[in-house]
A and B are shown apart, each in its own frame.
Chain A
């Protein structure tokens, strides 16, 4: 499974792993949305620590979860982003939508 989710009302964390592309992101998205709609957490964290590759499908994944959390009155955080994934996220200006922590930054 490319995503493992820790449910908590205050902070729900989705630990993503492997490669995020158009093929894998459907499954990840459905899994996260199912949990988020059930728990309605105050904050959702997408953890990219174990993501080895990400293309622009990852942008859609983050933007879609931002909209979902926004609709629920919650916040989105993104953590453990590698340098190359950050390059893709910055291209889309995702750093203006959510707080993004890069790999190596302890939080």
Chain B
């Protein structure tokens, strides 16, 4: 009989011989443990409503429940068909009277309609699969760019074990990992000169969540720079444009035909309306942040356009990161940063400026922001269906947290705001690092300070 020491030794050897499989397995185990235990109630309740609506013959926008552009709704349609084929989820959720008090909390994006463990797992499994695919694609791209297998593996680890990535797919069931996958695929396809397919992916990605749209100028400029000398730049850009337009037309077709097209952009304008409820200064700040996003998009595009063909690939990734980093200023909603995280990791692994501090600040800030919002209510489903804790205990803890305020600010809002600030600091440093050379010439002190925080070599 083998001793524990021998088994541990053999396990270690196996892990060292198969590091990719080891990383994937550990990442899966972490998520599999979390999936049934912790769930954010509000978003996943809506995924159930959307599936209910489409199964009862209503489109995405005929009945309240779906507020995004259509791509996620179609993915949910596919998931619902898969669930039906397997026949594994007969009850989506139940409304529990003992959880009613959580609907009256200060952060009121909670519902007492609690989804079942089976439904939670069914919604999260596709997102976990996407996490793994993103990790493998990212590894592929990092190795392609740097030639280093070790950096490729490090990139996988930084993606798969980013707490926010784990949280969004394993706990919150938010689909930003799909956004990250589509963004990454677009980047790769354009990088590999597959402009038509890249355009199609870009169109679908923008209609999932709009952030990839901020990369458009960099991508167009990259295609132009790469094909400036061979005279095919216009043709290539047109191919991409046709791909994107075709995809958008196909995805919007049902809404154009049934007259619900105006509802498809509700989420974007809804965000603006929500900010306008908070006073004029919040609206001004919101427009200023949008301006940063737009300026970043234009500036990064110009920088890309002015690149030499020889430096096109390197500049492509750094300018994409600059554009996406500026776009992130628009909202520090925790999950949004996932769309640019693969780019951040790629540039970390391939550039002189390692950006470690940005990864730490952005992931830590976004994670505590998300966790603060949902806190003890993450146990709703495990409480009602697994009996892990009592609903009364959840309610008492949630109300207890809210009863302690500082200048009228609840702990939830305080920690969430702190998370946002940390995240924003990460974005500011990220953008500043993109201007490293200019800073070195004009603001040497800031450049010197930045150089102290960007040293990190995984090799």
The answer on A and B forming one complex is no
Binding site for A on B (CB under 8 A): none
Binding site for B on A (CB under 8 A): none
